[in-house]
Amino acid sequence: MKKRKILLLVLVFMLIVFISAFDLRAFISSRIEGVVVDKATGKPVKGVEIRVYCGKKRDGHGYFYTKTRTDQEGKFTIEANREAYYFIVYYPPSPYAQTNRREEYKKNLLYVRKGKTIKLRKELKKGGTILIKVKDRATGEGINDVYIDFNMFGDDYARFDFKVRRIGNGLFMNNQLYKGNYKISISRDGYWRKVKEFKINYGEKKEVEVYFDSNNLTGIEGKVICKETGKPPLKAGIVAVDKKDEYFDGVSSDKNGYFKIIDMNEGEYTVKFYKKGTSDEDCDWIEKKIVIKRGKLYRINAKINCVCKPLR
């Protein structure tokens, strides 16, 4: 009889311990609950990606913790399993403005304590829209084979990876721009780079036109060979820099060592030659000065060092 009573007491004790432990875990668990809405209408926004970073300091350089998405009601929940700083970054779908990480850091750095639930409300604004038209000056036809480097600059710096999508022949668009100052650099193989700057606000629409002149033979051409062998390198890189420090890059010599850059502006340039896959620390770049006049195609040859340490 005593053994049964002792066994019963032990079972009751274990049950109490289990229930207490369960209640304690529930008590010390922490979470972040939020809702994302349209600022103008107050309606929930579905499908916003939420990325969470976690760290011990306030510097916002914590490690990636987790990610989730808002549901039909614009809500999301993040289980915070440690007492720490949490940095929340929102990646909304089109047409809402992309994230400015600098601004987000000021607003969305949280310290979550054990057993606490933090509630957030994020209001999204419609982004600014930029339409980029790229054309051939002679024909007026759209050009698609271009690379567009697109970023913010100045005090409004946010991130470098703004993207554009092609919506037609020579037409490119981004409708998720954060308010601020932007610089667009449009390049095409063998042509001088075009640079455009503009300022935009939430919900604002702007157009930028860029022309490449296929008939403008203002520029440089030439041949690159190796000093050591007198033969063309497997691939040489050519960079031209003007006095404003604007440059054209991405041109490589062909298998015979020949290259060409056209549609350049008048002015004085420094042309740099190097072997692809090496840095200027491993292998000296060859530099040549040249003054370019409109309507002329100048020949400029170079001998470069080809016995260099490859980039690691």
Domains contained in the chain, CATH given: 30-124 (2.60.40.10), 128-212 (2.60.40.1120), 219-304 (2.60.40.10)
- Give Rg (Cα) of the chain: 30
Residue 183: which of 220, 204, 210 has the closest Cα? 210
Q: Model pTM greater than 0.75?
A: no
Distance of alpha carbon 241 from alpha carbon 285, whole angstroms: 13
Q: How many residues does the chain have?
A: 312
- Strand residue runs (E) in 40-179: 49-55, 63-69, 75-80, 84-91, 109-112, 117-124, 128-136, 147-152, 165-168, 171-177
Do the beta carbons of residue 48 and residue 37 sit within 8 Å?
no
Residue among 27, 117, 120, 109 nearest 70 (CA): 120
**pLDDT tens string for the chain (312 positions)?**
555 656 566 565 566 555 444 444 444 578 999 999 999 999 999 999 999 988 877 655 578 899 999 999 999 999 998 888 898 889 999 999 987 666 676 677 888 998 899 999 999 999 999 999 999 998 999 999 998 988 877 554 444 457 889 999 999 999 999 888 888 889 888 898 888 999 999 999 999 999 999 888 999 999 999 999 999 998 899 999 888 777 766 689 999 999 999 999 899 999 999 888 766 556 778 999 999 999 999 999 999 988 876 544
Residue type, 252: S
Give Cβ neighbours of residue 20 (< 8 Å, ≥ 6 apart).
none
Closest CA to 31 of 114, 137, 87: 114
Quote the CA–CA distance of 90 and 136 in Å, as a whole number: 39
| Residues 6 or more apart in contact with residue 73 via CB below 8 angstroms | 35, 44
How many other C-beta atoms lie within 10 A of the C-beta of residue 87?
21
